[in-house]
Every structure is written in C-alpha cells, then in structure tokens.
Amino acid sequence: MAEPIKVSPQEQAQILMQALPHMLRYDDSIVVVKYGGHAMGDEDVARDFARDMVLLEQAGLNPVVVHGGGPQIGAMLKKLGIAAHFAGGLRITDKATMEIVEMVLAGSINKQIVGFINAEGGRAVGLCGKDGNMVRATKVTRAVHDPATNSDHEIDFGFVGEPQQVDTTVLEQILGRELIPVLAPVALGEDGETYNVNADTFAGAIAGALDAKRLLLLTDVPGVLDKDGNILKQLRLDDVRELIANGTITGGMIPKVETCIYAVEQGVEGVVILDGKTPHAVLVELLTDYGAGTLITR
C-alpha cells in the first residue's frame, strides 16, 4: 500500500473546506456503488475501496454496495473443471454452474468485502437478492440473428435472470443505522429457482427502487469515450442514445449505458461510469469539484 501523502494542518483544513459543500449536498442521501471488474482481485485496491465506503458513511451518506465477481467465478469453474460458455456477453448458467456462482458471489466474495469494510471500522452487512425477497428475477432469453439461415433464434441462458421486482423492506431497516449493505446479485425467480443477475443491472434496479441520488458503476475504463478516445464528462439521456446510434458507444459499454438510462428513468438523479482502479475514485467523484468519470443525467 502506498505511503500516505503528508500535508500540513493548513492544507488538511483547506481540503476539508472544499469537501464540506459536497458532504452537505449528499447528506443522508443514498449512493449505490457497483463494485466489480478486475480491480476486485487487487487487495490494496479492495482495502482502499472499503476505506472509502466507511468514510462516506461517516460523512453522512448512505452507501449501498453491489458487487460482481465474473473473474472469480471463472477461476473457480476452471479449478473445478467446469467449462464456461458465453453468448451475447452473458454467461450461460446451467444448474451446476449456478451452484458455483451462488457460492462465489453470495459466499466468498460477499464476505470478503464485508470483512474489508469491517476491518476499516465500518459495520457492513452481507446480503443477496434472495434475502427478504429483496429482488425477484425473471429468466433471460435473447433473440440472436443467424446470418447463415437469415433467421432469429432464442438463446436459453439457463439460470440467468434480470430484475423483475425489488422490495426495499430489508434495506430500509439497514440504511440510516450506521450499517453498510453489501449485496450479491443472486435472486429468486417466481418459479422458486435461483438466478444469476448481471451486477450492473442489479445495481440499477436497486438504485431505482431506493430513489438513490447517485449510482456509481466502477469499471475497468475511465468512462464513456468519444471516437478519439477522450472522456465525455457529462451526458444527457438523448446524448447517450445518439452515441449508441452513431457507433461511438459499442461492445460491452452498451449494456452499461443502458443500465444508466434505466436507472435515471427510474428516478436516480445521476449515474456515473468511472474507473474502479483509480485510487479513491468514489471520493473524487462525490466529494471534490473535479469528478472522476462520465456523469449521465436526465
């Protein structure tokens, strides 16, 4: 871990003065933070993230953490000799794979993040979408066009779901009590089966149901980029749709910005896509004048 930067008492006071208006702006507000990507595998980054969540809670915000775990799931499947299959950017999840997904997401990863936050002086509570019927999921199917036959066919992703309904009762009992919920994106379907839900989509549904002031999507990129590779600091919903239509936003960024659009339409004031590997990116975004990614608003 890097040595802390030494600053004078006067510089510390100046930093606090600059942060105070932002603390007041977000006082008692809910901020949902989707934590994922390869940054989760770096222990120093994970501890910095945990420290940031504790600071936000102590500064009067109500952070809610939603985490992914794709690389860790892949590593466990490989270790157990279970082949991984993907289609349309989603993992095809059979019964055996779903058991591993739940074990890794709601078990080892969830409790590791809880442990890091608690070690930094916080009081984290690890949950998944199944707890208290927090998130109900519906099975995902997707039509894919086959150029060879010039026809569409449905892909069965197995036990992959998307949020259908969110019940915030459990979260409302936790928030505002100096507790930090840490949520794994695993949910029950109406059929009683367990489903793996994309963490971005899960976070968007949680943020919308909680009327969060901000949804932060920590990724492996600095934000939405233009065609020259420059970061776009702020976008409206119409801007995002246009960037998709003209081919500026492509590939894996499309489902992320679609989550942003959904969350804003559900009432979230703003969604930010930012680089989770940047030290203290969450604090820079929320508590400074500079921002640390692409802000998407209505």
Q: Is the predicted pLDDT of residue 6 greater than 90, yes or no?
A: no
Place of tokens 């030290």: 279
pLDDT band at 39; cut points 50, 70, 90: low
**Helix, strand, coil distribution of the chain in percent, nearest 5:** 40, 30, 30
> pLDDT digit string (tens) for 246-283?
999 998 899 899 999 999 999 999 999 999 888 889 99
Cα 186 off chain centre by: 13
Between CA 288 and CA 298, with CA 293 as vertex, the angle to 5 degrees is 95
Task: Name which CATH class applies to 31-239+264-290.
Answer: alpha beta
User: Where do the structural domains in the chain lie, given as residue ranges?
Assistant: 31-239+264-290
pLDDT band at 4 (very low <50, low <70, confident <90, very high): low
Residue 37's pLDDT is what? 67
What is the average per-residue pLDDT within 150-172? 90
Give the model's pLDDT for residue 283.
Answer: 92
Q: What percent of the chain has pLDDT over 70?
A: 94
Element (H, E) at 24: helix 9-25
More confidently predicted of 211 and 22: 211
* pTM flag (> 0.85): yes
- For residue 13, pLDDT beyond 80: no
What pLDDT is attached to residue 161?
Answer: 94
For the segment 110-116, the average pLDDT, to the nearest whole number, is: 96
Q: Residue 249: exposed, middle, or buried by beta-carbon count in 10 A (0-12, 13-18, 19+)?
A: buried
d(CA 270, CA 235): 10
Percent of the chain surpassing pLDDT 90: 66
Strands 86-87 and 90-91: antiparallel
DSSP string of 31-60, one letter each residue = EEEEE-SGGGG-HHHHHHHHHHHHHHHHTT
In this predicted structure, what is the pLDDT of residue 26? 77
Sorted by sequence, the CB contacts under 8 Å of residue 212 that are 6+ apart come out as: 29, 30, 31, 32, 64, 206, 263, 268, 269
Residue with tokens 């390869």: 38
pLDDT over 70 (residue 38):
no
Distance of CA 260 to the CA centre of its chain: 11
